[in-house]
C-alpha cells in the first residue's frame, strides 16, 4: 500500500511517496518517489504515479501474451533505445548510498571512528576528501572575499560568551520537536502543527504522540577545569552571530563603507534529531557565510545589478508553486521587472552564487531558485529565496538568500548595551545597517554537488571518471615512469615530481600498468597524468594525458610547470598547450 510521507527540513515541507512491502516476516518501507513541496501537488503526483504503474502492468501483461504467441515485442530499435537509456541512467543517476560507498572506497569520506561503529551525524574526510574540501573553501574565499573590495573576512571562535546565543534567541527557541515511531522506534523531527497527522519518515508507521517533546539543538559544554566554577557554554550552531557581535570592530578596522559584507568560513554544530542522507545533514558541519549590510533607506538600490542582469536562472516562484506550475527559466532582469524577485539585491546574490557553482564545474540544469511561501517567511524578511539543487533524494536547499533586516544587530545592541550604529557620511547621522542578504552555504553540501555533477561511469574505459574542475581536483597531476625497472626514467620522473610538489599537489605512481594508473587517477579526479618514456631521456620532454577526453600532448620538461599552471587555471586549451600525439597504448 502506497502512502504519502511529509518531511520538514528547515522551514520547508517535502512530500515523498512510500510503500509498505513484505519481505519474509518483515514489512519494510520502500521509497517510490519525490512528490513536491505542498500536499495538493503531492496528491496529484501520487495519482499520476498510480496511473503510470497501472499502465505499465497492462503493458507487461500484453508482453507475456505476445511472448506466448511467439511475437517479439521488442525490435532492434527498441533494444538500442533501452541500451542507451540504461547507459544514461548509469552515468547520471547516482544514489546517495552509492555516493557514500564511492567516497569511502576512494578516500573521500569515512564515518567518524568507523572501527568503533561510527557516530551518527559525524564524518571524517580522507586524503582526497580533505584536499577537495579545502579547495572548495579556497575557491569560495577567493571569489567572495579576495576578489572584492566590499567584503572582509573573519574567523570567529567556536565557543564564545553564552550571552551571544541568548541575544540571538538560540538558547530560548533553537529546538525541534522529537517524536518516536511506535513501529521502528526511530525518532522523527516533526512540525508542531503537523503532529496529529504526521507519520514516521522512516517506515510510515504511527508516531507515539505522547513521546513528543522539544529538544534543544545546541551542544552544551563547560568552560573551566573545575566543574563547580565552570561556565555553561555552547558550541556555535551557526557562524553568523559572531559576525554580528564583531560587526562594529570589523567595519572600523577594515575601513568598510556601506554597502559591505563580512564573510566567514567555519565549523558549526547542531544536535540533529535524525541526521541523514550521508553528509547532507550532519551534527558537525562547516559553513561558508556572508552577512551583507546596507543603509536601510537604500534597500532598492543595488549598484552591482547590471553585472548579472542577463544571467539566466530557473525560477520557482510562490505563485508557480501554489498553482502547480513548473519552474520557468528567465533572465534575472525579467524576474525583477515582473516583480517575481522583489529586490535587486536578492536577484544579484542568487545569480552570483549560482554563477560561482557553474564556473567551477556544477551543471546549470541541476539548480533552481525557490521562493519561500508567504507563510514560511520570517516576520522581518521582505523576501526569501533558496538556491536549490537536484540531489538524488529530490530538490533540496543548497543555499539560502534572505534579508534579516536590523533584527540581529538590534538584538545585540539590546542585550550588550553597546552602540553598534555606524556614522553615515552622506546624511551625517548614525545608522544601524540592515542585512539585505545572507548567502549561507554548507561546505559539505557543496562537496556533494561537485562530486555528483563530476561523477560519470565511462563505458569505453570501464571505470568511473570524476570530471572535477582542475581547480577543485584533490590531486592536480600524477607523475609516473612508463616502466619502473628503468632507473634513469624513475630518476627523471621523481625529480620532476619533487619540483612540482613545491607548488602543486601532485602524486607519484609506478605501480601496475600505465592503463591501471590512468584508471586510478580518473576515479580520483586527477585532471592530468604525466608520463615519462624512453623518448623523454633523449628529448627532455614528457607526455601529458587529459582526463576528460584521454587526448595526449608532448611538452618540454622545462615548460611543464608553467603549462600545468595555465591548464589548471583555464588560461589555455589543452590542444594548444603542446604537440598532440597519437595514443600509443590502450587505456585498459
Q: What is the CATH number of the domain that holds 261?
A: 3.30.930.10
Q: Residue 378 has what pLDDT? A: 75
Same-domain pairing of 569 and 545: yes
Q: Residue 200 has what pLDDT? A: 87
Q: Residue 550 has what pLDDT? A: 96
How far is Cα 384 from Cα 378, in angstroms, rounded to an integer?
Answer: 9
The last residue of one of the domains, among 73, 89, 105, is 73
Closest CA to 359 of 470, 225, 248: 470
Whether the link from the prior residue into 259 is cis, omega within 30° of 0, is yes
How far is Cα 132 from Cα 469, in angstroms, rounded to an integer?
Answer: 11
Same-domain pairing of 258 and 348: yes
Same-domain pairing of 244 and 144: yes
Same-domain pairing of 143 and 283: yes
Contact in structure between 570 and 472 (CB atoms under 8 Å): no
Helix (H) or strand (E) holding 291: strand 284-294
State the greatest distance between any 2 C-alpha atoms of the chain, in Å, as a whole number: 91
Asked whether residue 207 is assigned to any structural domain, the reply reads: no
Closest CA to 575 of 543, 550, 552: 552
Residue 461: how many other CB atoms lie within 10 Å: 16
Kindly give the confidence (pLDDT) of every residue in the chain, 588 residues in length, as a single tens digit, with 9 standing for 90 and above: 576 777 654 455 667 677 766 555 555 556 666 677 677 777 777 777 666 666 655 555 454 345 444 434 344 545 455 445 444 444 447 899 999 999 999 999 999 999 999 999 999 999 999 999 999 999 999 999 999 999 999 999 999 999 999 999 999 888 878 899 999 988 888 876 677 778 887 888 889 988 888 888 999 999 999 888 899 999 999 999 999 999 999 999 999 999 999 999 999 999 998 898 999 999 999 999 999 999 999 998 999 999 999 999 999 999 999 999 999 999 999 999 999 999 999 999 999 999 999 999 999 999 999 999 988 887 777 789 999 999 999 999 999 888 889 999 999 999 999 999 999 988 889 999 999 999 999 999 999 999 999 999 999 999 999 999 999 999 999 999 999 999 999 999 999 999 999 999 999 999 999 999 999 999 999 999 999 999 999 999 999 999 999 999 999 999 999 999 999 999 999 999 999 998 754 555
Asked whether residue 97 is assigned to any structural domain, the reply reads: no
Task: Print the domain residue range for 464.
Answer: 460-581
- Split into its structural domains, the chain has a count of 3
Asked whether residue 361 is assigned to any structural domain, the reply reads: yes
Same-domain pairing of 443 and 541: no
Same-domain pairing of 446 and 472: no
Asked whether residue 231 is assigned to any structural domain, the reply reads: no
Helix (H) or strand (E) holding 524: helix 514-524
Same-domain pairing of 429 and 470: no
Contact in structure between 151 and 159 (CB atoms under 8 Å): no
Q: Residue 423 has what pLDDT? A: 93
Rounded to 5°, the CA angle 27-190-163 comes to 140
Phi, psi values for residue 406, rounded to 5°: -105, 10
Closest CA to 376 of 364, 387, 384, 368: 384
Name the 3-class secondary structure at 492.
Answer: helix
Same-domain pairing of 443 and 475: no
Q: Residue 197 has what pLDDT? A: 79
Asked whether residue 511 is assigned to any structural domain, the reply reads: yes
Asked whether residue 121 is assigned to any structural domain, the reply reads: no
Assessment of whether the complete model's pTM goes beyond 0.85: no
Same-domain pairing of 276 and 372: yes
Cell numbers at 462, concatenated: 570501464
Q: Residue 62 has what pLDDT? A: 54
Contact in structure between 483 and 489 (CB atoms under 8 Å): yes
Phi, psi values for residue 17, rounded to 5°: -105, 125
Same-domain pairing of 573 and 439: no
Contact in structure between 478 and 418 (CB atoms under 8 Å): no
How far is Cα 548 from Cα 569, in angstroms, rounded to an integer?
Answer: 16
Rounded to 5°, the CA angle 573-579-584 comes to 110
Closest CA to 205 of 45, 416, 20, 373: 20
Asked whether residue 217 is assigned to any structural domain, the reply reads: no
Asked whether residue 174 is assigned to any structural domain, the reply reads: no
Residue identified by cell 625529480 is: 495
Same-domain pairing of 507 and 526: yes
Contact in structure between 445 and 417 (CB atoms under 8 Å): no
What Cα–Cα distance (Å) separates residue 95 from each residue in 42, 100, 106, 180? 22, 9, 17, 27
How far is Cα 185 from Cα 183, in angstroms, rounded to an integer?
Answer: 6
The last residue of one of the domains, among 21, 54, 73, is 73
Contact in structure between 300 and 289 (CB atoms under 8 Å): no
Closest CA to 188 of 29, 385, 390: 29
How far is Cα 36 from Cα 161, in angstroms, rounded to an integer?
Answer: 41
- DSSP assignment, residue 35? E
- Look up the CATH number of the domain holding residue 501: 3.40.50.800
Same-domain pairing of 247 and 353: yes
The last residue of one of the domains, among 55, 73, 91, is 73
Amino acid at each position: 500500500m502506497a502512502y504519502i510521507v511529509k518531511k520538514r527540513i528547515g522551514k520547508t515541507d517535502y512530500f515523498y511517496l512510500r510503500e509498505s512491502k513484505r519481505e519474509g516476516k518483515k514489512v519494510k518501507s520502500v521509497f517510490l518517489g519525490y512528490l513536491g513541496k505542498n500536499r495538493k501537488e503531492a496528491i496529484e503526483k501520487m495519482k499520476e504515479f498510480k496511473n503510470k504503474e497501472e499502465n505499465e502492468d497492462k503493458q507487461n501483461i500484453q508482453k507475456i501474451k505476445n511472448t506466448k504467441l511467439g511475437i517479439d515485442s521488442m525490435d532492434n530499435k527498441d533494444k538500442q533505445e533501452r541500451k542507451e537509456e540504461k547507459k544514461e541512467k548509469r552515468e547520471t543517476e547516482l544514489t546517495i548510498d552509492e555516493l557514500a560507498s564511492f567516497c569511502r572506497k576512494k578516500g573521500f569520506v569515512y564515518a567518524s571512528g568507523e572501527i568503533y561503529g561510527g557516530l551518527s551525524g559525524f564524518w571524517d574526510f580522507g586524503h582526497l576528501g580533505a584536499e577537495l574540501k579545502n579547495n572548495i573553501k579556497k575557491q569560495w574565499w577567493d571569489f567572495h572575499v579576495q576578489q572584492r573590495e566590499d567584503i572582509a573576512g573573519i574567523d570567529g571562535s567556536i565557543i564564545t560568551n553564552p550571552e551571544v546565543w541568548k541575544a540571538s534567541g538560540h538558547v530560548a527557541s533553537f529546538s525541534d520537536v522529537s517524536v518516536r515511531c511506535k513501529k521502528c522506534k526511530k525518532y522523527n523531527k516533526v512540525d508542531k502543527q503537523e503532529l496529529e497527522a504526521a507519520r514516521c519518515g522512516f517506515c510510515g508507521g504511527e508516531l507515539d504522540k505522547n513521546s513528543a517533546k522539544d529538544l534543544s539543538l545546541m551542544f552544551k559544554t563547560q568552560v573551566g577545569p573545575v566543574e563547580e566554577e565552570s561556565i555553561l557554554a555552547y558550541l556555535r550552531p551557526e557562524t553568523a552571530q559572531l559576525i554580528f557581535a564583531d560587526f562594529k570592530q570589523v567595519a572600523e578596522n577594515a575601513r568598510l563603507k556601506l554597502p559591505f559584507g563580512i564573510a566567514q568560513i567555519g565549523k558549526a554544530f547542531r544536535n540533529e534529531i535524525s541526521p541523514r542522507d550521508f553528509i547532507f545533514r550532519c551534527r558537525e558541519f562547516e559553513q561558508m557565510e556572508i552577512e551583507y549590510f546596507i543603509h536601510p533607506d537604500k534597500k532598492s538600490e543595488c549598484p552591482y545589478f547590471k553585472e548579472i542582469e542577463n544571467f539566466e536562472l530557473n525560477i520557482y516562484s510562490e505563485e508557480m508553486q501554489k498553482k502547480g506550475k513548473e519552474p520557468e527559466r528567465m533572465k534575472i532582469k525579467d524576474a525583477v521587472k515582473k516583480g517575481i524577485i522583489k529586490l535587486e539585491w536578492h536577484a544579484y546574490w542568487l545569480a552570483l552564487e549560482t554563477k560561482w557553482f557553474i564556473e567551477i564545474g556544477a551543471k546549470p540544469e541541476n539548480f533552481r531558485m525557490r521562493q519561500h511561501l508567504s507563510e514560511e517567511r520570517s516576520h522581518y524578511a521582505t523576501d526569501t529565496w533558496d538556491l536549490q539543487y537536484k540531489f538524488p533524494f529530490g530538490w533540496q536547499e543548497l543555499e539560502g538568500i534572505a534579508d534579516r533586516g536590523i533584527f540581529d544587530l538590534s538584538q545585540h545592541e539590546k542585550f550588550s548595551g553597546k552602540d553598534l550604529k555606524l556614522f553615515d557620511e552622506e546624511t551625517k547621522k548614525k545608522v544601524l545597517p540592515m542585512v539585505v542578504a545572507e548567502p549561507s552555504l554548507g561546505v559539505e553540501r557543496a562537496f556533494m554537488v561537485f562530486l555528483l555533477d563530476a561523477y560519470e561511469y565511462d563505458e569505453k574505459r570501464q571505470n568511473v571518471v570524476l570530471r572535477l574542475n582542475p581547480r577543485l581536483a584533490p590531486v592536480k597531476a600524477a607523475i609516473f615512469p612508463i616502466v619502473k625497472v628503468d632507473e634513469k626514467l624513475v630518476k627523471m620522473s621523481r625529480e620532476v615530481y619533487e619540483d612540482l610538489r613545491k607548488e602543486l599537489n601532485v602524486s607519484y605512481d609506478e605501480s601496475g600498468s600505465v592503463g591501471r594508473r590512468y584508471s586510478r587517477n580518473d576515479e580520483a579526479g586527477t585532471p592530468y597524468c604525466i608520463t615519462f618514456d624512453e623518448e623523454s631521456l633523449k628529448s627532455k620532454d614528457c607526455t601529458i594525458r587529459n582526463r576528460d577526453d584521454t587526448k595526449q600532448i608532448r611538452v618540454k620538461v622545462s615548460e611543464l610547470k608553467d603549462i600545468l599552471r595555465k591548464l589548471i587555471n583555464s588560461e589555455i586549451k589543452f590542444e594548444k598547450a603542446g604537440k598532440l600525439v597519437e595514443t600509443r597504448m590502450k587505456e585498459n
